[in-house]
Amino acid sequence: FVLKSKYLYWQKKHKEAMAVLDSGIAAATACRDTYLMVNMLSEKANRYVYVEKDYKKAIEAHLRAIAIREDEGLCYSLGIAMGLQGNDSASYYMDRSIELVEKKKDTTRLVHYLRNYAQLLSYISSDYKKAAEVSKRLRSLAPDGGQVAMTDLVLTECFLKMGELDSAQYYLDQGRALLARREKLLSTENMMTYYQGLIDYTRHRTFDFLKVMRYNDSVHNALYALQSTIQRKDESKESLSNANLQLTVERQEAQLTLLACLLLLVVTGGGAFFYIRARRHRLIEAEERIETLNRLLADATKGDSEPGTTGNVNQEVEDGQFFRKILLQQLGIIRLVATQPTSQNQDLLRRISGITNRELPVESLLVWEDLYPVIDRIYDGFYTQMNRRFGSVLIDKEQQLCCLLCAEFSTKEISVVTQQSIPTIYQRKTNIRKKLGMGEKEDIVSFILEK
């Protein structure tokens, strides 16, 4: 209950906290747990005194707790609550708390009780004589010079209010001497000057506050200087922080710029590398296609360049040369060689380059309707037989590929004269085998020529 009540108190839920304490007190009463009853009643009374300032309810709670178990702490707290309310019984309970704590020989708590009792008598109850008695007793017990000095100031005020100026001056001098060896406090310095002014005015009808005013000004100036120093430090710190932030931002911007430049360099370099590699690859392919076309040209014109041996050439070779010659004639290469048979034929080179670089579309140059009869005549009716058996299955480009395979064109040569890539040609071969129901490695030409 106590922990829950404290939690609610920290949450600023004071009514709920007091309700929890009431529930705890009721539960402890039912269990006849006097320790918890006194503990929670004391907690409740302290809340009434220091939080709600309801001294009447605080007194009721303390009296209820003391009825269960009397101790010095409860009597002291009850005396303070009664003193704040102006109840005449406050002195009784304060004296009782001092009596009980003396029996326990607890000097520390005794000094604490006497000091607050003296201030209560002086500032609230206005019982200056008894306040002076309690303060003198406290003065003999207080081990600390600062506590003795503060007690001297209480005695000074008590004797001033009783009109005993000599005693007031004595204890004021005693307190001033003790405080001179300690760090000065603004409130204490002003209090001593105020008391001295009252004594001087009562005795001599004059007073001097100039010294304390100068002291107050010096304290104010010191505080102002300290605040200015702190402000300048804060401004310098903020300025340095802003400068550091600016440097950090600039460094990050520089890093991002450098990173962007590096990325651009890498992308540019990578792009240039792949472009050069692709261009080199295309040049190599173009050179290979030119070489293939030149080899085709050489094979087609071989019989023309060696007329004396024409009769000795195998008939099959002659047929292949004849078909190549007709195909190259359609491409315009043989005609150029015939009209200008020189090794530096620029038109021939341009024509070969245009075909290999796919600048001249061979589909517009090759007339397959004229080439099919040549294939039939040279290769025992290959085209007619293929068209009769598989014309409804194979498309034109597949039939053209079969004709070139029949003429013993290599894959590279087929790629050059048809302007198709080698992977495309291999794919077409695979498609032809699937359409014809052939095995993966079976020869296409032989399969078509089968009866």
Q: Is residue 432 part of a domain?
A: no
Q: Is residue 208 part of a domain?
A: yes
Q: Is residue 260 part of a domain?
A: no
Q: Is residue 428 part of a domain?
A: no
pLDDT given for residue 311 in this prediction = 46
pLDDT given for residue 258 in this prediction = 92
Q: Quick one: which of 42, 50, 65, 41 has its CA closest to 14?
A: 50
CA-only gyration radius of the chain, Å: 60
> In the structure encoding, which two tokens stand for residue 278, read together?
């692709």
Cα separation, 84 vs 49, in Å, equals 9
Q: Which long-range contacts (CB under 8 A, 24 or more apart) does 127-131 make?
A: 127/91, 128/158, 128/159, 128/161, 128/162, 129/158, 129/162, 130/91, 131/158
Give the number of other CB atoms < 10 A from CB of residue 238: 10
Q: Is residue 186 part of a domain?
A: yes
Concatenated DSSP letters of 120-160: HIIIII--HHHHHHHHHHHHHH--SHHHHHHHHHHHHHHHH
Classify 388 as helix, strand or coil.
helix
Cα separation, 285 vs 291, in Å, equals 10
pLDDT given for residue 340 in this prediction = 45
Among all chains, which residue has been given the structure tokens 């061979």?
Answer: 362
Number of domains in the chain: 1
Write the CB contacts of 59 (distance below 8 Å, at least 6 apart in sequence). 45, 78, 81, 82, 85, 87
pLDDT given for residue 317 in this prediction = 54
| CATH number where 148 lies | 1.25.40.10
Q: Is residue 361 part of a domain?
A: no
Per the CB < 8 A criterion, the answer to whether 48 and 21 are in contact is no
pLDDT tens, the chain, 451 aa long: 778 888 887 888 888 888 888 888 888 888 888 888 888 888 888 888 888 888 899 999 999 999 988 889 899 999 999 988 888 888 999 999 999 999 988 888 888 889 889 888 888 888 889 889 888 888 888 767 777 888 888 888 899 989 899 999 998 898 888 888 877 777 888 888 888 888 988 888 887 778 778 878 887 888 888 888 898 898 888 889 898 999 999 999 999 999 999 999 999 888 888 888 888 877 777 677 667 666 666 666 665 545 444 444 455 556 566 666 666 666 555 444 434 444 445 454 455 555 555 555 656 567 788 888 888 888 888 889 888 888 889 998 899 889 888 888 888 878 877 778 889 989 999 999 999 888 888 888 888 888 5
- What is the reported pTM? 0.47
Relative orientation angle of helices 34-47 and 2-10, to the nearest 10 degrees: 20
> In the structure encoding, which two tokens stand for residue 274, read together?
């792949």
Cα separation, 31 vs 373, in Å, equals 123
> 367 — phi, psi (to 5°)?
-105, 95
Q: Is residue 238 part of a domain?
A: no
Q: Is residue 424 part of a domain?
A: no
Residue 27 structural domain: 2-217
Per the CB < 8 A criterion, the answer to whether 365 and 418 are in contact is no
Instruction: Tell me the helices (H) and strands (E) count for the chain, helix number first.
Output: 22, 0
**Residue 444, CB-side half-sphere exposure with 13 Å CA sphere:** 25
pLDDT given for residue 316 in this prediction = 56
Cα separation, 350 vs 364, in Å, equals 17
